[in-house]
Structure 1
Amino acid sequence: MTEIRPFRVEVPQADLDDLHARLALTRFADQIPGSGSEYGVSVEWVKDMVDYWRSGYDWRAWEARLNAHPQFTTEIDGQNIHFVHVRSAKQDALPLILTHGWPGTVVEYLDVIEDLSRDFHLVIPSLPGFGLSGPTAEKGWNRYRTAKAWVELMARLGYERYGVVGNDGGSLVSPEVGRLAPDRVVAVHVTQIFSFPSGDPAELQDLTEDEQAALQHLQWFWENMGAFNQLQSQSPQTLAHAIADSPAGLLGWMGQLIGGHLDRDFTLTNIAIHWFYGTASSSIRFYYEDAKAEHPTEPTTVPIGLAGFANDFQSIRRFAERDHKTIEQWNTYDVGGHYAAHEVPEVLAADVRAFFAGRG
């Protein structure tokens, strides 16, 4: 099936009522007094967010904001794919396909649409099994199968040459789009390059102070916040029973990576989309599928550029150069974080614009 169908976000009122009823009946976890977030996402934070979700958060306003942009669905490789498609007033503009990660949704990119669409046609899909694409029903939806679907999506839209942009999981998918279609992808722009030490001690002998600090930051993250990756890569269905049934449970689980310093509306909108469209379970399966995939060993060849932000994964260039043959940009900023398109949209948009300038 190659039909492209218009789409609008229209959550039935009954689903909103059901959500509010479930939130009102939340059975909160216990917590050692004064422990804060020492053991993970705190009960205090979850209670505050549940209260706001019930009494202060306006889903319909965010629904309207999403519906302000043209949206569509199509079936690719047996999977429903939702995408935002905003065409620039410049008819000859370079198309870009922008990919979010977990636990995000297309909401990640709402704050850069107006800016980037002045110079680019924008395609912003929901990952298979995430949010507005709905759940996956087959095995194997890893970064490589997703990248193949993106190549098909851009071809279906009539885009013969395009750029690729990604964050988080999108930073895994995007280079693979370039690997699959090097004759069509002009370049790849990501906010993380997930290249790690190979285990060869020689790689670690002459690290600079900055590189050592980046490795220490990575080690701290895995030792203190890496449980989500371990569980979702090994036993996603075990977790799914809790987060598919309880909105407060989903909030607590996803809140570790999309809460904290981010504003409550942004956090809740991403989580609410997973709740309403039933993708709490299928979105975490992405980790399992990716962990079980066979990963290429040859480096990518399409030009790649990094925009790294302060409160985020710290990419290390010497390892990135092992995995990507043509690194043409390596910019780091002392602002922003993991959701740069939302936190510092003007900085990210300017970086994307400069990187793709002259590549059309």
Structure 2
Amino acid sequence: MRPFQIAIPQEDLEDLRRRLAETRWPPAGPSSDWERGVPLEYLKELAQYWQTSYDWRAAERWLNSFPQFVEEIDGVEVHFVHVRSAEPDATPIILTHGWPGSFVEFLDVVGPLTDPRAHGGDPADAFHVVIPSIPGFGFSSAPTEPGWDVPRVARAWAELMRRLGYDRYVAQGGDWGKVISLRLAEADPEHVAGVHLNMFVAMPPMDDPNAFADLDERDLRKLQKAGRFQQDGMGWQQIQSTRPQTIAYGLSDSPTGQLAWVVEKFKEWSGADKGPEDAVNRDRMLTDVTIYWLTNTAGPSAQLYYESTRFPEDFMRTWAGPWPLSVPVGIAVFPDEVCPPIRKFAEPLLPTLSHWTEFDRGGHFAALQQGDLLVQDLRDFTRSLKTT
């Protein structure tokens, strides 16, 4: 395993600023809200901030403060953060990001996870933390052959944890991290102690007319939200699942286009009222976007959609389950998630569901939005694994 440090050439940063300054802006359109996409005036201000005020070098130093490595697995260079706790009985955990996220999502919770003693927690709840970048994302290399679907990524994660010497570990994730973590438990049940998720897709049984009979007001609101998302919020999924190479040309040539493509999801999926900064730190969000830009991974990251959700049957197989696992599963439900799950519909899909927490705040980017809540729920779930 090779130690890795991020070192972006200065000319790449100058090229980014030049392209931002020379953006060809579209007309504003008939509305200034977010219903038709990212508003022009908002994006102009954010792009100017990115060009003139955002400090990549400061972000780079922060990123490099975490020990990073690269390891070749199945023909792909996998980039990962690996932070071992000083606590001798710490539990290994592998955290998997999604799209349009990156390993950056989890860095603010590394401290509380690895060193609870220093963050007001119990040292018995410590973790050894592994945060890989999915192949085609960030500083992992892009697959050069077809077939890198969710199960293949999961098998790569199992191999990574084996090489790190972890015999028993917990898998955690949301978005792509959700399905990769579940497939990891399927692929490596002897070593996965449990799976913790901050996202779960639980579709109601459409052939049961009584399925909705006893839902309370909260669950009915979840159903309504999921219905709106299915009708109005899945355009990105359709194009990345079917034409990932076509969308890559525009996103790889225009940093403003890349910015809009990602920022829209930070706004819509976080529950933010006005702009994504209401829910997610602006510089953290821009660090995520800048990584997509500097690594030129708009296209490679979209390929996972093609591999795993190109056809409706692929989508259902990838996201809908069922998940006949042999290890315990815990779910943290954040109300501003795009499709917050209903327990009644989740339980038949997850026969080993053993932990369920519903929070009153937070959305899709749980570690960025409500890191303290996510960390505490992870501690609670993992503590339960030690008593069973």
What is the TM-score of this pair, normalised by structure 1? 0.95
Match of 1:286 among 274, 287, 304: 304
Distance 2:169 2:139 in 1: 24
2:217 is the counterpart of 1:220: no
For the pair 1:25 / 2:18, whether they are aligned, the reply is: no
What is the aligned partner in structure 1 of residue 135 from structure 2?
A: 128
Aligned ranges 1:69-148 → 2 under 5 Å: 69-118=66-115, 119-148=126-155
5+ unaligned residues in a row in structure 1: which ranges? none
Residue type of the partner of 1:287? Y
Task: Please say if residues 91 and 127 of structure 2, whose CA atoms lie closer than 8 Å, have aligned partners that are also in contact.
Answer: yes
Secondary structure in 1 matching 2:237: helix
Within 1, Cα distance between the matches of 2:35 and 2:200?
Answer: 29
Which residue is 1:336 aligned to? 362
Helix, strand or coil at the partner of 1:331: strand
**Residue 358 of structure 1: how far off its partner (Å):** 5.3
TM-score for the superposition, normalised by structure 2: 0.88
1:242 maps to which residue? 250
Contact 2:98 2:176 in 1 (8 A): yes
Q: Offset at 1:255?
A: 1.3
| Residue of structure 1 in register with 2:121 after alignment | none
The separation in 1 between residues aligned to 2:336 and 2:364, in whole angstroms, is 7
| 1:72 alignment partner, SS class | strand
Q: How many residues align?
A: 357
* 1:252 aligned counterpart, secondary structure: helix
2:220 corresponds to 1:191: no
The yes-or-no answer on 1:268 pairing with 2:286 is yes
1:288 to 1:203, Cα distance in 2 relative to 1, 3 A: farther
1:359 is aligned to 2:385:
yes
Shift of 1:277: 0.9
What letter matches 1:24 in structure 2?
Answer: A
Deviation at 1:343, TM superposition (A): 1.3
In 2, distance between residues paired with 1:241 and 1:252?
A: 15
User: What SS does structure 1 have at the residue aligned with 2:106?
Assistant: helix
Q: CA deviation at 1:203?
A: 6.2
In structure 2, list runs of 5 or more residues that go unmatched: 116-125, 268-275
Q: Tell me by how many angstroms 1:298 deviates.
A: 5.5
1:154 matched residue in structure 2: 161
Equivalent-residue separation in structure 2 for 1:95 and 1:258 (angstroms) = 29
Query: Does residue 1:164 correspond to 2:156, yes or no?
Result: no
CA distance in 1, matches of 2:205, 2:151: 21
Identity of aligned residues (%): 42
Residue identity in the other structure for 1:19: L
Matched, 1:179 2:186: yes
| In 1, Cα distance between equivalents of 2:83 and 2:210 | 44
